[in-house]
């Protein structure tokens, strides 16, 4: 008895002494299903790396962005791993705020990362953040309503087809809107959608000399098309709708079509939450025949701030969280349908994943069709499909988003919204020194 007690005491003391020497890394992350799942699975990491403890800070996307930007810009040193998007990576890499990820281990297989995603997370040929989850956007539609309208959705529709189908599927008496699109103002809200859409109409934010282009006919066509379509076939109060609002509408059977993030496919096809789970079809984002589709490219990825004192431990964690082994771990615990999508080519070649995720091929095709380095029909001086990777874009994008949201709500005309956007963009770009 006494020996047992002594043994247990020694074990406890050893554990305490060990815990005192374990290195703790702090990870800032967003609250989405995949990240929450990862937090539940971290026992696997700590079992493999007993000398590293993990602390999580989960925040809403915009708050997280502000927090980590403040911290990294002031070298606050509060985080060792940061969840950042394709917007931040090129800007932060240029500022030398991130460490290049060149020590992820021999079995990491960086070449397996989907090229379009890797391109968005690299600068000067070096990977500065490892993708944890990637997405594009595509069309999700109700097969039953499409059939009822007497139409067949092609794999690669045009905007004219989408508009025609949306108007035919609309049934106000039955509370069915032909199409649900983002209208809530914000650079990551309506402007993510509208910027990607404008690419397919031949528009661009800036010409090669950083002159704003909202006074060009391509933007007029884009915005007029969007406002008219939403007026005829969109839900009421669409100017307040973002991803979550449209997701709720679609899941309740109130949308004929919804063009949004590919990650939504796993939500709308989940019978636990969606009333239309067995009726959803998928198609590529529409085009106008100019060579670019209206889909975006985004990846939540893990980056390591240059000021961290725990770079080695942080790299080990990034390697674990974004490696092939993690995908297998999720599949073994929660099934292939719950594996974080959009990062590795090998996942899309996996027959088990293809079987579990019927939207897999369309997701990969959508991701592959987006090119952040050549996002538009005409040449541009910037990187980014649904954003412009410059620090000024967050503020400017939201200002323009507010003007476009007002046009959707009928508070201003399309012409006035575009004129306001042009004035705001010229002012901001001049102030920031892009326009001499």
Partner 1 sequence: MARAVSTRRKIGFTVAAWVVALLIFFPILYTIITSFKSETEAIAGFSLVPSGTLESYAEVQAQSNYFKFFLNSVVIAVGSTILALLIAIPAAWSMAFSPTKRTKDILMWMLSTKMMPAVAVLVPIYLIFRDANLLDTRIGLTVMLMLINLPIVVWMLYTYFREIPGEILEAARMDGATLWGEIVHVLTPMAVPGIASTMLLNIILAWNEAFWTIRLTTTNAAPLTAFIASFSSPQGLFWAKLSAASTLAIAPILIMGWFSQRQLVRGLTFGAVK
In the complex, the residues that contact partner 1 under the rule CB under 8 A are 26, 28, 30-33, 36, 39-40, 55-63, 66-67, 70-71, 73-79, 188, 242-244, 247-248, 251-252, 261, 263, 267, 272-273
> What separation in angstroms does the CA of 321 have from each of 99, 264, 317, 340, 343?
17, 22, 6, 10, 12
CB 366 within 8 A of CB 262: yes
Q: Which is nearer to partner 1, 66 or 102 (CB)?
A: 66
CB of 434 to partner 1, least distance (A): 23
Task: Rank residues 405 and 422 by Cβ distance to partner 1 and give the closer one.
Answer: 405
DSSP string, 344-411: BHHHHT-HHHHHH-TTHHHHHHHHHT--TTS-SSS--SS--SSS--STTHHHHHHHHHHHHHHHHTTS
CB of 34 to partner 1, least distance (A): 9
Whole-number minimum distance, CB 189 to partner 1, in Å? 8
Contact 301, 89 (CB under 8 A): yes
- Which H or E element spans position 26? strand 23-30
Nearer to partner 1, 202 or 401 (CB): 401
Smallest gap from Cβ 188 to partner 1, in A, equals: 8
Among residues 51 and 66, whose Cβ is nearest to partner 1? 66
Between strands 52-59 and 23-30, the pairing is: parallel
Minimum distance from residue 71 beta carbon to partner 1 (Å): 8
Q: Which is nearer to partner 1, 181 or 261 (CB)?
A: 261
CA distance 136 to 388: 16
To the nearest whole angstrom, how small is the minimum distance from the Cβ of residue 76 to partner 1? 5
Output the smallest distance, CB 56 to partner 1, in A: 8
Nearest to partner 1 of 51, 55 (CB atom): 55
Q: What angle do CA 92, 341, 165 make, to 5 degrees?
A: 105
Residues forming beta bridges with residue 53, ordered by sequence position = 24
Nearer to partner 1, 133 or 282 (CB): 133
CA-based radius of gyration for the chain: 23
Nearest CB to partner 1, comparing residues 338 and 373: 338
Beta bridge partners of 25: 54
The distance of closest approach from Cβ of residue 342 to partner 1 in the complex, given in angstroms and rounded to an integer, is 13
DSSP readout, 271-337? TTT-TTGGGEEEEEPPB-SSS-BS--EEEEEEE-BTT-S-HHHHHHHHHHHHSHHHHHHHHHHH-GG
Nearer to partner 1, 57 or 329 (CB): 57
Residues 6+ apart with CB under 8 A from 295: 136, 137, 138, 196, 284, 285, 366, 369, 370, 385
CB of 54 to partner 1, least distance (A): 10
- Among 104, 97, 134, 139, CA closest to 119: 134
Q: 160 vs 273, which CB is nearer to partner 1?
A: 273
d(C-alpha 419, C-alpha 412), whole Å: 11
CA neighbor of 375 nearest in space, from 131, 90, 101: 90
Structure tokens at 57: 């800070």
Closest contact distance (angstroms) between CB of 132 and partner 1 is 14
């Amino acid at each position: 008895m006494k020996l047992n007690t002594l043994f247990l005491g020694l074990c406890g003391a050893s554990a305490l002494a060990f815990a005192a020497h374990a290195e703790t890394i702090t990870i800032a992350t967003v609250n989405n299903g995949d990240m929450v799942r990862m937090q539940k699975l971290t026992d696997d990491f700590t079992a493999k790396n007993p000398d590293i403890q993990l602390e999580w800070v989960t925040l809403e996307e915009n708050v997280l962005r502000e927090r980590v930007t403040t911290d990294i810009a002031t070298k606050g040193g509060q985080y060792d791993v940061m969840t950042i998007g394709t917007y931040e990576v090129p800007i932060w890499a240029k500022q030398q705020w991130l460490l290049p990820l060149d020590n992820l281990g021999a079995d990491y297989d960086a070449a397996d990362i989907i090229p379009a995603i890797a391109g968005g997370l690299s600068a000067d040929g070096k990977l500065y953040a490892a993708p944890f989850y990637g997405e594009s956007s595509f069309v999700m539609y109700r097969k039953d309503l499409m059939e009822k309208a007497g139409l067949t959705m092609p794999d690669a529709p045009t905007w004219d087809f989408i508009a025609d189908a949306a108007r035919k599927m609309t049934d106000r008496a039955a509370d069915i809107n032909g199409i649900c699109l983002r209208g809530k103002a914000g650079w990551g809200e309506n402007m993510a959608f509208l910027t990607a859409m404008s690419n397919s109409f031949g528009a661009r934010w800036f010409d090669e000399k950083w002159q704003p282009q909202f006074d060009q006919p391509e933007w007029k066509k884009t915005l007029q098309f969007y406002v008219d379509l939403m007026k005829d076939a969109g839900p009421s109060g669409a100017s307040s709708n973002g991803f979550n609002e449209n997701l709720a509408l679609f899941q309740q059977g109130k949308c004929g079509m919804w063009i949004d993030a590919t990650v939504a496919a796993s939500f709308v096809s989940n019978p636990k939450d969606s009333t239309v789970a067995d009726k959803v079809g998928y198609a590529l984002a529409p085009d106008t025949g100019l060579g670019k589709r209206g889909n975006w490219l985004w990846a939540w990825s893990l980056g390591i701030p240059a000021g961290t004192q725990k770079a080695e431990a942080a790299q080990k964690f990034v390697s674990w969280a974004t490696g092939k082994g993690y995908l297998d771990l999720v599949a073994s615990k929660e099934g292939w349908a719950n594996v974080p999508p959009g990062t590795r080519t090998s996942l899309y070649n996996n027959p088990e994943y293809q079987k579990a995720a019927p939207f897999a091929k369309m997701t990969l095709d959508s991701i592959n069709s987006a090119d952040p380095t050549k996002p538009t029909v005409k040449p541009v001086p910037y990187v980014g499909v649904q954003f412009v990777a410059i620090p000024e874009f967050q503020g400017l994008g939201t200002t323009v988003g507010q003007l476009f949201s007002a046009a959707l709500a009928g508070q201003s005309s399309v012409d006035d919204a575009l004129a306001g956007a042009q004035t705001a963009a010229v002012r901001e770009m001049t102030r920031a020194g892009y326009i001499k």
